[in-house]
A and B are shown apart, each in its own frame.
Chain A
Amino acid sequence: MPLQVDDLKVYYRTLRGDVRALDGVSFTVADGEIMGVVGESGCGKSTLGKALVRLDNRMKHVGGTVTVDGQTLPIADDRAMNRFRFTSVSIIPQYAMSALNPTRRIGRLVADLLDARGMSYAATRPELIRRLALVGLPETVLDNYPMELSGGMKQRVVLVLSTLRDPALLVADEVTSALDVSNQRAVAQTLVEFRDRGYVRGMLVVTHDISLVYQIADTIMVMYAGRLAEKAPSDAVVTEPLHPYTQLLIGALPEVGARFSERRLTGIPGRPPGLRNPPQGCRFRARCPLAVDKCAEQPPFVEVAENHHVACWKAGS
């Protein structure tokens, strides 16, 4: 199985104390599964994505394990992780448009990377060209400098490069946020195609755009304030959400054809709790219309229906 996460805790160090960005997260991603990870800003989804590949120096691994293909990833050890990066676990970063060295031709960049990692560029080149063609890029792109390419083209190059070694797990971090709609669609379709062709075995698509994720993901996982709220097949999440937060989230989505005069968009009142001193118990409690006293105790993330996990006392009842 490409990914198994057990009670992962990753905090951010700050001068005024630790921010508990990921506070005990457990889930699995199966072979060939595309999982969308959604939630508000600050819910921890980006931290999750980054923690699987590369902790930066502000983050610290406080507890829990990450297992890829049966091997525990040494996510706290930067050096040890290098072995797994790019080969087992890869990422398409949020800043994909500026992710390429502006003073190096694309082909040379790839060659430098592969050579530095002990892989043969010459041997990989044919496959590289094939994949570039798959995303609609000509072979000549390898001779270009990044600034000679459009934003969408750079995004596609990064897509191909990140998946070049057929990683077991791919994390796509907000890959469509900076794109226009038609580019978004192209990227989304490419992600699915890569999975279908077996270039990646498991995928985490981190985004705040539920509608996008609904189109391409098999499973959707909703996060709130550093914890998991709900995880279920996409259809189930969108048509029968069981967690109050998910329900409000889906309810807040605009419908095509709906007009403001007929149906007002409702947001969710209030804001997520600060994560330096998170509240005890369920973190959605303050904003939840269904909250009761029992919610002062953190509900466990349990399977209440087939493949449907929720962390709420009121779900499944």
Chain B
Amino acid sequence: MRRYFGRKLAIYTLTFVVAVTLNWIIPRFMPGDPVLRMLTRTSVSNPDAIAPMRAYYEDLFGLDVPLWKQYVNYWVELFQGNLGVSVWLFPAPVADVILDAVPYTLALLLPSILLSWWAGNKVGALAARSTWLDNTALPVSYALTATPYMWLGILLAWGLGIVAGVFPVAGGYSFELRPDWSWAFVGSLAQHWFLPFLSLFLVAFGGWAIGMRNLIIYELEADYASYLAALGAPRRLIRRYAFRNALLPQITGLALQLGVLVSGALVTEIVFAYPGLGHLILQAIQNQDFFLLQGAFLFIVIGVLVANFVIDIVYVLVDPRTRTGMQGAT
């Protein structure tokens, strides 16, 4: 097991290094003096930003500093938590801007991922044994998983938000309220949260339901299921074993889907102007705020790596095959 975690940590560390390096290297692909380029781009939007930006950039891209030192500088800044200063929201530091947005994104991602996984697995398992459910839930699941995240968001926003007027379609909370812990505010938060959450939940749900249904059918045909049936075990018991065994690849699947789920959350936020990372990124792109983009990128990468690691731990705890040294599933 030490080998297993050792390998995983190595990969995650390497990935992080690759991501940081990418972040640092890509601006250099542009012809000419990268510092000048960035400064001229930003000077139009915010003249006050130039001086601190020049200082920061010189350190990282300045032609008088040797390459390797630039790279090291970048890492040093990173470890000090300095992701630069936002151009668009000058003088707010990037790290602060991002940290303001992260809770909203997490509030969308965590419940939708967990609930859709759980509900999708349950329904998929039920569909495997009920023909009626199979004929209804399955086509719906295929339609849902084929739906682009933003389109479902748009439909929900339009249908339930504008036409039916039940839910608001913009912002994280009502514009006239100030953030505090009053019921009104929390209620408003929940109201604004619901549609984006529902959108994410539905699309992801489809995928899990389909996967689980197929896995359960496969498990029910396995030798251990046949043997238990031959020993007169009630269907209940066999289904319980099949469900538990089918969950294991679904846990791995969760790790594989993280990238897709994150991008889904980003576009959904854009549709609903929900003040999370996705919305932030859109603004950053529109305002050419590269610091913010780079910071958001790193945050997302870190988040995905951490989530992967957590899933790896959960998997080891749940699949006995990994613990005895045999490979369960890599």
Contacts and interface: CB of A to CB of B under 8 A. Distances in A.
Interface of A: 53-54, 56, 81-87, 90-91, 93, 95-96, 98-105, 112-113, 116-117, 145, 147-148, 158, 161-162
A203 B231 CA distance: 16
A83 B229 CA distance: 11
Contact of B224 (A83, A90, A100): A100
B230 A93 contact: yes
A90 B231 contact: yes
Given A93-B227, A116-B237, A147-B326, 6 more contacts: A83-B232, A93-B230, A102-B321, A103-B245, A103-B248, A113-B231
23 contacts: A54-B229, A56-B226, A82-B234, A84-B232, A87-B232, A93-B223, A95-B226, A95-B227, A98-B223, A98-B224, A99-B223, A99-B224, A100-B224, A100-B227, A101-B224, A101-B241, A103-B245, A103-B319, A113-B228, A113-B237, A145-B324, A147-B324, A158-B227
For the residues of A in contact with B, the DSSP-based class is loop
Contacts, number: 74
Contacts of B236: 116
Contacts of A98: 222-224
A110 B122 CA distance: 26
B223 A103 contact: no
Contact of B245 (A91, A93, A101): A101
A278 B320 CA distance: 50
A221 to B, nearest CB: 22
A113 B230 CA distance: 11
A147 B321 CA distance: 8
B224 A91 contact: no
Contacts of A56: 226
Nearest to A90: B231
Contact of B230 (A91, A101, A103, A117): A91
B216 to A, nearest CB: 14
B324 A148 contact: yes
Contacts of B222: 98
Given A99-B223, A148-B324, A104 B234 contact: no
A17 B255 CA distance: 46
B25 interface: no
A102 B237 contact: no
B244 interface: yes
Contacts of B224: 98-102
Nearest to A147: B326
A82 B320 contact: no
B292 to A, nearest CB: 46
Given A98-B223, A113-B237, A116-B236, A103 B231 contact: no
A150 to B, nearest CB: 14
What are the 8 closest A-B residue pairs judged by CB atoms, nearest first? Answer: A85-B232, A99-B227, A98-B223, A86-B232, A116-B237, A101-B224, A86-B231, A95-B223
B226 A103 contact: no
B226 A93 contact: yes
A105 B321 CA distance: 11
A191 B230 CA distance: 19
A100 B246 CA distance: 16
B166 interface: no
A96 B234 CA distance: 20
Nearest to A91: B230
A170 to B, nearest CB: 12
B307 interface: no
Contacts of A85: 230-232
Nearest to A162: B231
A113 B228 CA distance: 8
A258 B321 CA distance: 48
A90 to B, nearest CB: 7
Interface in B234-254: 234, 236-237, 241, 244-245, 248
B234 A103 contact: no
Nearest to B241: A101
Contacts of B326: 147
Contacts of A91: 230
Nearest to A100: B224
B230 A104 contact: no
Contacts of A81: 232
Contacts of A105: 320
A116 B286 CA distance: 62
